[in-house]
Amino acid sequence: MAIRVNFYVCLGLTIAVIGINAIAYIFAARADNSTDEKLGTVRTLPSLQTRARPPLQPTTLHLGMLETQFFEYAKDNNWAAIATIHRQEFTVHKLQPGGEALYALPDRTLVYVKGFIADIYFDSDRLVGLRLVADNRDRALTAPELLTLVRAWFPDDVLSVIYQITPSDPRQSIVETLIGTIPKAFERDLGQTSLPFCRAIVFPAPVPVNILSTCSHAKTSSIWRTTNWQPSRWQLFGGNSQLGRDSG
């Protein structure tokens, strides 16, 4: 009888030990899974927002982009349509900018797209130039702000920029600007005032934005035809500050 009792006691203890070990194994497995999940979280790829470009930076522009691509940018940034004119294969869209914030490389200088009405010129559905006219309902851009905006808009292009300012204005506010070129069909749009034109060249980053410019009293017709000149290599690397066509 005693032997039978001892047998059942031993059997019960064995079952209890097996149960305890099983429970301990389950908890240990859960702890390992939790650790693996935490390690996996650390090793995941960074968010797509963590790029060299600041978060929420709007799409940039480039000369030659399709009209549909430009309007994707305009729609994303709440630009408003004012008017559209077609002449042969050329088109101009007059638009009110949406006031979006842009960052100009290499130092990510902040500039806001406002203070002007924009005429956007297309040749056979390809972007060739932008004419900006001061909007009296907002604070006009200054020359440094304009050139910073050009860099932020066109980070990969070498661009000639001509603009008019009132000489007596201590703030040097921009009256009118042409970025790129203007189709001959719309040539008379440019230079509605008799103010002198200034010219500057904006290079891609990492070349710093150069706020120096040359100003002249040249006629509008002779100014705009030279806005698409390409600088020579020695001018690109600072050989001479004089602006003009490459003679080589």
Cα–Cα separations (whole angstroms), residue 2 to 6, 8, 10, 12, 13: 6, 10, 12, 15, 17
Please give the DSSP secondary-structure letter assigned to residue 59: P
User: What φ, ψ does residue 92 adopt, rounded to 5°?
Assistant: -125, 130
Q: Where are the beta strands (DSSP E) in the chain?
A: 80-87, 90-96, 101-104, 109-112, 116-123, 126-134, 159-165, 174-180, 197-202, 214-216
- Nearest CA to 177 out of 189, 161, 193 is that of 161
For residue 123, give the 3-state DSSP assignment. strand
What per-residue confidence (pLDDT) applies to 184?
A: 95
111 token code pair: 């500039």
238-244 long-range contacts, CB within 8 A, separation 24+: 241/212, 242/214, 243/199, 243/200, 243/201, 243/213, 243/214
What per-residue confidence (pLDDT) applies to 192?
A: 87
How confident is the model over 100-146, as pLDDT tens digits? 999 999 999 999 999 999 999 999 999 999 999 999 999 999 999 99
Q: Which residues of the chain have pLDDT under 70?
A: 1-58, 212, 217-248
What sign results for the dihedral spanned by CA atoms 195, 199, 202, 207?
Answer: negative
Q: pTM for the complete prediction?
A: 0.67
What per-residue confidence (pLDDT) applies to 8?
A: 55
How confident is the model over 186-205, as pLDDT tens digits? 999 999 888 989 999 999 98
Listed in sequence order, the DSSP H helices in the chain are 2-43, 67-76, 143-153, 220-224, 233-236
CA distance 105 to 128: 23
How many CA within 13 A on the CB side of residue 27? Answer: 6
What per-residue confidence (pLDDT) applies to 166?
A: 85
Listed in sequence order, the DSSP H helices in 64-173 are 67-76, 143-153
